[in-house]
């Protein structure tokens, strides 16, 4: 559907916690740039128990929803259709409502990762390392399956995580070698390193950054830069940030929800940067 500039349509991001989501800033900036004056984008604190009732109560003015944790899997039973990309990792971050109310789920994190890497000149690599093995690591593995022609090594912190990562590899038809977190410093010598762990987890690895690092994709964006990303940049390596990912996955969401293209990437990035700056300095 090609949305008109004055159509009164709604969209929102759902999750718990949700107060610090940057999605409203990104989507609203896109609406303004696209002159979608009747469009609004909000945030709602919704947990898994409340999700079915919330979705069922939405009217025809709703164009779509962005979904963050813990709803990416919980939403799947509520959908009429799910994309192959979302099905591959069992996670939906985008729900689009058709004109007939049909609910279609997609995952824009995976192509968003590929687009963020491409923006930084990374089209293809012959090997890659993943730090971590949580939900984001599965999306990273799916993204790497599209651009990595050789070995993918996942550095994990527990036997249970190792099992999960192997299962994701089998599901995605990608061969993954599992390595112990104690050897994670070795990951930093790969052509591409994707850090998917929580804040602070990779700080101790900063001292192991090689003299000539290649590309680091650190999915965090607040606080930023991480110690690893800062040292990586200091040594001249390329760094792709979590904000890059957030912007590119949001671009794809806006395209799907509004039917408009091209979506203004730089406008959305600037809005995200300003929102982050405002958190650090209330006077901004």
Residues noted as catalytic: 72
Three-state secondary structure call for residue 79:
coil
Q: How many of the other CB atoms lie within 10 Å of CB of 150?
A: 10
Tokens linked to 104: 């279609």
Burial class, 266, CB count within 10 angstroms (exposed 0-12 / middle 13-18 / buried 19+): exposed
Tally DSSP H helices, then E strands, for the chain: 9, 12
3-state DSSP assignment of residue 96: strand
CA distance 126 to 198: 26
Closest CA to 215 of 86, 69, 116: 116
* Residue 115, strand partner residues: none
How far apart, in whole angstroms, are the C-alpha atoms of residue 77 and residue 283?
44
Gap between the Cα atoms of 54 and 38, Å rounded: 22
**Strand partners for 128:** 152
Query: Residues 87, 150: contact at Cβ < 8 Å?
Result: no
The rounded distance, in Å, linking the Cα atoms of 3 and 93 is: 21
Tell me the C-alpha to C-alpha distance, in Å, between residue 58 and each of 9, 10, 114, 175: 12, 10, 32, 42
């Amino acid at each position: 559907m090609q949305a008109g500039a004055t159509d009164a349509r709604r969209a929102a991001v759902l999750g718990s916690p949700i107060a610090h989501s940057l999605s409203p800033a990104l989507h609203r900036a896109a609406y303004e740039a696209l002159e979608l004056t009747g469009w609004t984008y909000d945030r709602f604190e919704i947990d898994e128990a409340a999700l079915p009732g919330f979705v069922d109560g939405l009217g025809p003015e709703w164009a779509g929803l962005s979904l963050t944790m813990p709803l990416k899997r919980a939403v799947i039973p509520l959908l009429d259709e799910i994309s192959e990309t979302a099905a591959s990792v069992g996670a939906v971050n985008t729900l689009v409502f058709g004109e007939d109310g049909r609910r279609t789920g997609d995952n824009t994190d995976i192509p968003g990762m590929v687009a963020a890497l491409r923006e930084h000149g990374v089209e293809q690599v012959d090997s890659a390392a993943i730090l971590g093995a949580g939900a984001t690591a599965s999306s990273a593995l799916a993204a790497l399956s599209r651009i990595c022609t050789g070995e993918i090594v996942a550095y994990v912190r527990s036997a249970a995580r190792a099992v999960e990562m192997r299962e994701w590899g089998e599901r995605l038809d990608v061969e993954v070698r599992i390595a112990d977190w104690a050897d994670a410093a070795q990951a930093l010598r790969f052509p591409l390193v994707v850090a998917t762990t929580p804040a602070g987890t990779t700080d101790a690895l900063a001292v192991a950054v090689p003299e000539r690092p290649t590309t680091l994709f650190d999915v965090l964006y607040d606080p930023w830069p991480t110690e690893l990303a800062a040292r990586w940049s200091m040594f001249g390596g390329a760094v792709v940030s979590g904000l890059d990912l957030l912007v590119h996955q949001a671009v794809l969401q806006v395209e799907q929800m509004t039917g408009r293209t091209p979506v203004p990437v730089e406008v959305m990035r600037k809005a995200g940067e300003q929102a982050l700056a405002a958190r650090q300095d209330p006077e901004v």
